[in-house]
Amino acid sequence: MQQLLDLVDVATRAAERAAAYLRAAAPPGSQAWTAKDKNDFVTEVDRHSETLIVEALTHLVPGSRVVGEELSPDAARAGDVVWVVDPLDGTTNFLHRYPHYAVSVGCMVRGELCVGVVHDVPRNLVYRGATGHGAWLGDTRLEVSRETDPSRALIGTGFPYKRLEDIDVYLRQLGTVLRNAGGVRRAGTASLDLADVAQGRFGAFWELLLAPWDKAAGAVLVREAGGVVTTLEGSSDIVQHGSIVAGSPAMHGRLRDLLRKV
């Protein structure tokens, strides 16, 4: 247990270092954006944020590996301690000065996802969690929603902005959820969406395609807050490119059933 808490502290310190840099950085003009894919931009700010995180993590935990969105997305995930990092989750929000973006640091120990830290940069809030230790915001322990009536639940989602061939399927899913939920929200930062599930704001959340670094840290928060996180197909192995459904035990099952019918 103490070893996990030590890793939480390391992740928190690394995320805080990057968050301080991001708060001071001015969003670059569009001429400095690089398109990795359609509607998926990266800048030197993202890369420098990841450099700061990697330096902190590998200095504080020598021999650990980092799988990062910008500098090492294809790094091997095998090892005693492997960090899964998004140095700027919500890059598009950041670029347009929309104040909803985060630093996300997850950690796998011998292949098991067990530590997650999400730093809400504009609000300077730090969510942290570890297997068996719960999920926390400051001194407040997080708990998923107790709502069991879907018609009263608020559901989070993410658009398939990279894989446009999924739009038709997604729109059918969205229509189905809208007919059965109290409301649907999309803010564009998956790690913070998962933090909202963990603290009971969202009853559940889904997205058709996320990368491992988009969801690793947030998944720990949800699970440690009493929730369930799987792929749309039901696999608990979410540290891969693919879908995600997260929510309270009641809402996760209801949402997944709705989506699978579509």
Express each pLDDT in 174-227 by its tens digit. 999 999 999 999 999 999 999 999 999 999 999 999 999 999 999 999 999 999
Of the candidates 21, 22, 26, 219, the residue with the CA atom closest to the CA atom of residue 127: 219
Whether residues 131 and 207 share a domain: the answer is: no
pLDDT at 34: 60
* CATH code assigned at 185: 3.40.190.80
Q: What is the CATH number of the domain that holds 75?
A: 3.30.540.10
CA angle 83, 89, 92 (to 5 degrees): 150
Residue 129 shares a structural domain with residue 221: no
Local confidence band at 31 (pLDDT 50, 70, 90 cut-offs)? very low
Q: Of the candidates 117, 77, 55, which has an alpha carbon nearest to the alpha carbon of residue 212?
A: 77
Confidence check: pLDDT of 55 > 90: yes
- Asked whether the predicted pLDDT for residue 141 surpasses 80, the reply is yes
Give the distance between the most distant pair of CA atoms in the chain.
51
Give me the number of domains the chain comprises. 2
Same domain for 137 and 179: no
* Closest C-alpha to 220, from 150, 121, 118, 73: 118
Domain residue limits at 192: 150-261
pLDDT at 33 over 70: no
Altogether, the residues listed in the chain come to a count of 262
| The pLDDT of residue 38 is above 70 | no
Q: Does residue 241 share a domain with residue 131?
A: no
Identify whether residues 130 and 186 lie together within a single domain.
no
Shared domain for 126 and 212, answered yes or no, is no
pLDDT of residue 28: 66
Distance from C-alpha of 229 to C-alpha of 179, rounded to nearest angstrom: 23
Last residue of a domain, one of 117, 141, 165: 141
Same-domain pairing of 158 and 86: no
Residues 35 and 105 grouped into a single domain: yes
What is the CB neighbour count within 10 angstroms for residue 170? Answer: 22
Domain end, chosen from 112, 141, 170, is at 141
pLDDT at 152: 95
Contact 119, 174 (CB under 8 A): no
